[in-house]
Amino acid sequence: MKRYYRVLSTTLPLLALTACGVPKYPHAPELPAKAPPFQTADAAFIQFVNENDVMQIELGKLAADHSASAKVKELAANLVKDHTDNRTKLSAIVAKHDMTLTETPMKEDKEKLEDIGKLHGARFDRAYLAEVEKSHKTIDTQSSNEVASTKDGDLKTVASATQALDQKYIVQAYSLLPQRAARHYHRR
């Protein structure tokens, strides 16, 4: 019995000390909830916009070296800046949804870049401006469809901004394209 009291007398104070001495650690903060994945149409639009942004950035870099016109070089510099900003906004949105964007042009776009990159001077300017106008008209249509159909507010904002950007560059590219001369036929 003495032994029992001795064990009890030594363990009870130790138990009391351990109960008081345990520090209270704060709970780990909860991780932010990941946004649900994009719908298929939204993901396809994001990919399409990203591919267009990458292509326009690469074309703009080519224009800095190959263009003969100061106005085309200025347009290209603005395109690079605006499409880089657009990619930054798009990257921030897709990061919330655990998605990444490609950094390099697609195979078809690389072929276009190689073909246009072989040109210099006025020939380059015509090909470059035609490509800018064509690609922006295509993405403008996609953006207007996305604005109407998406339920994601952030994506709707980016689609609206992309649409405004496209309309701006369609007008600028068209104004710089050489006007097609009307042929006049003389009666004999």
Per-residue model confidence (pLDDT) at position 16: 63
137-181 pLDDT, tens digit each: 888 888 888 888 888 888 888 888 888 888 888 888 888 877 543
Tell me the pTM: 0.74
d(CA 82, CA 88): 10
| Chain mean position to CA 69 | 29
Question: Chain-wide mean pLDDT for the chain?
Answer: 83
In the chain, domain spans? 40-176
Asked if 65 and 80 count as a contact pair (C-beta separation under 8 A), the reply is no
pLDDT of residue 183: 46
Q: How far apart are CA 25 and CA 103, in angstroms?
A: 43
| Residue 14 pLDDT greater than 50, yes or no | yes
Q: Domain 40-176 - what CATH class?
A: mainly alpha
Judged on CB neighbours under 10 Å (0-12, 13-18, 19+), 73 is: middle
